[in-house]
């Protein structure tokens, strides 16, 4: 679910995974792994940072 939402965020804003990672203050690699479904259960702190990014970018999932 997180991977799908990150994908929606990227599509709506036309952002790369690297830019989303920068906004969320997480590594590019972990965000890419989440997006690819490799990291299915990221750390709570990582997931929280990514979810907080949607508020920063004014996105409703």
Supply the angle between the helices 17-24 and 2-13 in degrees, to the nearest 10: 110
2-61: pLDDT as tens digits: 788 778 878 888 888 888 888 899 999 998 898 888 988 889 999 899 888 877 666 555
Residue 41, helix vs strand vs coil = coil
Distance CA 57, CA 4 (A): 17
C-alpha pair distances (Å), 29 with each of 6, 22, 35, 36, 46: 14, 11, 10, 10, 12
Domain 2-56 in CATH 1.10.3470? The answer is no
- Residue spans of the domains in the chain: they are 2-56
Task: Let me know: does 49 contact 25? Beta carbons within 8 Å.
Answer: yes
pLDDT at 1 (0 to 100): 76
pLDDT at 56 (0 to 100): 67
pTM of the model: 0.72
């Amino acid at each position: 679910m997180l991977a799908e939402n990150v994908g929606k965020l990227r599509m709506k804003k036309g952002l790369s995974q690297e830019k989303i990672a920068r906004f969320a203050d997480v590594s590019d690699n972990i965000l890419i792994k989440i997006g690819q479904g490799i990291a299915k259960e990221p750390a709570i702190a990582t997931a929280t940072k990514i979810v907080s990014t949607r508020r920063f970018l004014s996105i409703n999932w």
